[in-house]
Amino acid sequence: MDDKKVDKLTQTYPNWLNWVGAVVSVVLVVSSLVPGGGNGWQWAPFYVLMTYIFIRKSKEKRVWELGELLVMPVLTFCCVVGFITTTGGNGGKYDLWLWGLGVIVGILLSVFNIYLKPRIEKKRLEKK
């Protein structure tokens, strides 16, 4: 058994997968902004963030650390936009519950990742 500690931010897959992810994200950004494409525009900020993360991660391995902190707030923003458009567009009860639940879960996970998780890690390291 190898007892080396593995850095969780070190890339363990080929670099070309980053570029494939970036190209797919760019395609999704463009397709979400096409007129008449439905309500896909609300996901554009998430696709732009993922494009940035995939492109930068291929050059700097530490970008994913920032990406972990930003993904949930951006997804929460997308859920808030969906909730507002559903409310204004007379959406059904199921849609309101779905978007509302997405907002609540997104806020809770964002607070955990940004505020609580670093403090828990800090206390755990102080105990050692």
User: Could you read off the pLDDT of 98-113 as tens digits, one per residue?
Assistant: 999 999 999 999 999 8
Contact in structure between 32 and 47 (CB atoms under 8 Å): yes
Q: What band does 8 get if pLDDT is binned at 50, 70 and 90?
A: low
Q: Considering only residues 14 and 116, tell me which one the structure prediction assigns the higher pLDDT.
A: 116
Q: Is the pLDDT of residue 61 over 70?
A: no
Angle between helix axes 44-57 and 16-32 (nearest 10 degrees) is 160
Q: What band does 17 get if pLDDT is binned at 50, 70 and 90?
A: confident
> What ranges do the domains of the chain cover?
16-127
Q: What is the mean pLDDT of the chain?
A: 81
DSSP string over 22-63: HHHHHHHHHHHTSTTS-SGGGGHHHHHHHHHHHHHHTT-TTH
Which one, of 121, 120, 116, 76, lies nearest residue 99 by Cα? Answer: 76
Q: Which two tokens stand for residue 46?
A: 């998430």
Which one, of 79, 70, 80, lies nearest residue 114 by Cα? Answer: 70
Q: Report how far residue 30's alpha carbon sits from residue 66's, in angstroms, rounded to the nearest whole number.
A: 24
